[in-house]
Chain A
Amino acid sequence: MTFGNPWFLLGALGAFIPLLVHLFDRRRPRPHPFGPMAFVLRSQKRTASRLKLKRLLLYALRTLILLAIPFALAKPEWRNDAQAATVTHGPAATAIILDASLSMRWSDGTPLFEQGRDEARDALKDLLPEEPATVLVCTDTPAPPPTPGFDRARLRALVDEARPTYAGADLSRCLELAARTLEESPLAGKRLVVVSDMTASAFRLESPPPTVKGPTGTPVKPEVVLRDVARSREALDNHALVDLKVEPALQAGPRAFQFTFTVRNFGMKPVKDLEALVRVGEATLAKGFVDVPAGGTTQKALTVRFPQGGTVAGAVTLAPDALGEDDRRAFVLPVPRALKALVVNGAPHATRYRDEAFFVDAALTSPGSPVEAVVRDAEVGLREDFSAYDLVLLLNVAAPTEDEAQKLTAFVQAGGGLFISMGDRVDPEAYNQRLGALLPRALRLVRTSAERESPDADTKATRLAQVKQEHPLFAPFTGSAEEGLVGARFYRYMLLEADNPAAAGGSQVLATYEDGAPAVAVARKGKGRVALFTSTVDRDWSDFSIRTSFLPLMQRFAAYLTGSLDEHEAVHARVGEAVTLRPDGAQKVTAVRAPDGSELPLKAQPDSSFVVGPVREPGVYRVLGADSKPVPALDFAATLDPAESDLTRVPPETLTAYFGEDTVKASTGDTNKPAVPLWTWLILTACLAFFLEGTLLRK
């Protein structure tokens, strides 16, 4: 019990007034000679015992009045936790479990976690001197608390240093750990003090309640004190950004993306005109407003056109509410750069659709493509300064000269991309001789699966059989999209030699024909990449160029060969989980920096990947490579678990039923909540005593 105006308690000394009056009242009664004295005597005798009781009652009532009034003025507040401590038979070993989940960051002025710390401090204060105690700050990965002891300063320091996390808290697990720790205390009494906002996501009510070993070894329920830091609030309203999808919006430009995000309203009131922004740094790139019904979900899409390519880190934000942390979702986005491609046309033709480069040019320069293609015939094209281009495509080109081959090799080694497609003009031996160092595999000879003009050409023509869809190049061609790929007919194609294990870097066959012959082979050469397509990109050897998959595949070839197409798996990091980074062979990872600037633990794996984390906060994590240089391509964003945004609270009666009505001794909350109005009861008691006193006096 605490007092708002403790000085008024001095007034309780007034309770001695009736006693003093009784002891020192020396008023002389008026003498009165009276005839019928016998009747007075008899009456006095008859009423003596009743009068004695009445006087005693009057004394008690007057004392009560004089005690109740100063107590009421002192504004007593009933602290149920103290009551709980006193109702325990004897001292009890106590474990204070402080909820440090994301929901405790909810704030309407004072964060719930601050109130929780105050509650934990109060719980420590309320302990009896002979009660050992411990503190467990409950997170998603709780560790057993220290053995219960009497070092209150250490426990207070634990509470002072506690910080709320961005993840959920497994209170059920924490209670179990605390119960196990309490068993180390020889005291018979065990008490668990839970300081939490009692959100449903923190409890696993389907699991059994915590128990401790009783004196006989049988499990018994410990006393549970619930300190609900949010009990003054009817509900913890919250809206959150629970999902974000970023997809290219090619119709809006080569570097346009559509941000589709989902906003959920966990509160009981609808949210109107909620502002949503797409921001990169301090710049706002797109802005919109959403209405979310109570308890409902709304999806909104915003399109952003990025001015330049590269890895972009930013965030989608909502107008913040009491829990601002879940109103923001970070993203890391590889925006394609503008690519310049030199298309070397080995078989130009006056009729456009018969031109070797016609379909490739159309595919690369289609709307939304970041590629700017320059088409040259072989003679001119091979003399160009390749350094002005990101990508060179040799389409059915006769083998370049030695000089041209050296230029091409230097170009690729320096990071350029080289695409080579076959055709009638390709001389395998000349290619092997001059470009052998660049080719993923040596060319062998041309195989004809069907003559183009024969009537059964369509049935005899081969098709693509095995496509490595796990490779970024073919990653989009899954499901129905695969049809456009495997439906293409190949009448003729170049066979390749087996891979030379001794060759540096080695090659990779990403697609094969039905006979197992490679259709697409790729290899890394220096800093660049080379792709070999063993058929033609016009309609001479196949009808692939008129298939729906041709255009996107050519664009992905361009992106892949220039390094724009990220080969990394999309990293979906969630707070509380570890993240696996898979750098390229050329990339090195030396550190990962969290949004708050701290470095995360990094663990190298045998498969040259790295395990980072677990990540502890949402936002963009920066990856540093050799010499602490940023590797933006490996940057990733961590997001919150949407389940933690649901602040639905468990009703007190449910918790009482869960822990057991006989063990839940008290339920208290924050100090903002008006305490049990004890003073009104005291005033009522005083009034009642006053009334009874008057009634007794009249009798």
Chain B
Amino acid sequence: MSLLDAQTLSRLQGVKLRARAVMEGVLSGLHKSPHQGQSVEFAEHKEYAPGDELRHLDWKAYGKFDKYYVKRFEHETNLRAVMVVDASASMGYRSGALSKLEVATTLAGALSYLLVRQQDAAGLSLMVGGAFRDVPPRASAGHLNVLLDALEHASAEGPTDLGSAADHLAEVLPRRSTVIVLSDLLDERQEALKRVLALRQRKNDVAVFHLVDPAELTFPFDDPTLFLDMEGEGRIEVNPREIKQSYLEEFGAFLADVKARCAEADVDYELVRTDERLDDVLLRFLSRRGRRR
């Protein structure tokens, strides 16, 4: 049994342990990766042209080749990433070892570890019952504990309101931030996802981790069941076998729609089943982002 499967992770108490375990798994996988970090690093030489900054002249190259070369770098600035974790009541649903919220907080914790480790700023915005608990992005090592504590105490309650979250982030986030949304996206309002995706238009780098429980994907119910709405008073008594086909079609269409809209808005989309290995999820995510870059 791997340390990183959902069953094992569920036995690790607290986000800190789970996030660290996932982060370790990610790091062990990265050494084979072509991904070479995101900080200020040398990228290539360029022949000097008038107007280039003289401080970037490579004198050693001049000594060797008797020509002026200018050093060029990948990123000139630090990365600011904010993880938006949906802690609505529906995120508390679990059919297996971990709830969607537990998976979301674990992923957010692991990402925080990775960001802080390479001295990028990591922040958090926790959506709880229509309110927001923000942890501003910082790159210090001590800030990691603050982030993990906030994730540790997250509990699922209240309705999903992605639209408000998007508005809130638009207000508080500086431009060109990286926004990582971890949510089940179960917001019935049509414009909610649209407003989240609109963050991309504000020069933000947006990524969506769409969390889905296996039961939501396969609808494995047999006996007559009274389904209770986790975010409202709704309830309905149905024979699941009778509506299974229809439900799977509806839910499949929803997933396809979300994926298509994300692709259209140039937003990274990652479907996350709560029963899969989270390090695989992160590696997949990082790999895709590396290819994009």
Contacts and interface: CB of A to CB of B under 8 A. Distances in A.
B47 interface: no
A586 interface: no
A31 B229 CA distance: 10
Given A29-B225, A32-B228, A33-B230, A39 B247 contact: yes
B227 A40 contact: yes
A352 interface: no
Given A36-B186, A36-B216, A36-B254, 17 more contacts: A28-B226, A29-B224, A29-B225, A32-B228, A33-B227, A33-B228, A35-B216, A35-B230, A37-B227, A37-B228, A37-B229, A37-B230, A38-B186, A39-B247, A39-B250, A43-B246, A46-B246
B243 A29 contact: no
Contact of A43 (B93, B230, B243): B243
B228 A35 contact: no
A37 B242 CA distance: 16
A385 B91 CA distance: 152
5 contacts: A29-B224, A34-B227, A35-B230, A37-B227, A38-B188
A202 B227 CA distance: 79
Contacts of A51: 242-243
Contact of A35 (B213, B242, B243): B213
B236 A30 contact: no
Nearest to A28: B226
A39 B254 contact: yes
Nearest to A31: B226
Given A33-B230, A34-B93, A40 B243 contact: yes
B237 interface: yes
Contacts of B236: 37, 40-41, 44
B243 A31 contact: no
Nearest to A54: B242
A272 interface: no
Nearest to A42: B250
B90 interface: yes
A27 B224 contact: yes
Interface residues of B, number: 33
Contacts of A598: none
A218 interface: no
B223 A30 contact: yes
Given A44-B243, A47-B246, A35 B226 contact: no
Main secondary structure of the interface of B (DSSP, over half): mixed
Interface in A299-336: none
Q: What is the interface of chain A mostly: helix, strand, loop, or mixed?
A: helix
Most chain B Cβ neighbours within 10 Å, of A36, A38, A39, A54: A36
Nearest to A34: B227
Most chain B Cβ neighbours within 10 Å, of A39, A42, A46: A39
B62 interface: no
A84 B86 CA distance: 78
A17 to B, nearest CB: 19
Interface string A41-71: 1111011000100100000000000000000
Nearest to B251: A39
Given A35-B184, A42-B250, A43-B250, A30 B230 contact: no
B209 to A, nearest CB: 16
B73 interface: no
B131 interface: no
Interface in B64-100: 90-91, 93, 100
Looking at A30, A37, A51, A54, the one whose CB has the most chain B CB atoms below 10 A away is: A37
B169 to A, nearest CB: 23
B234 interface: yes
Contacts of A29: 223-226, 237
Interface string B207-251: 000000100100001011111111110111110001100110111
A35 B231 CA distance: 8
A25 to B, nearest CB: 10
Greatest chain B CB density within 10 A among A33, A41, A43 is at: A43
Given A30-B223, A40-B236, A41-B234, A35 B186 contact: yes
Given A43-B250, A46-B246, A35 B225 contact: no
A401 to B, nearest CB: 137
Contacts of B243: 40, 43-44, 46-47, 51
A303 B224 CA distance: 98
B187 to A, nearest CB: 10
A54 B239 CA distance: 13
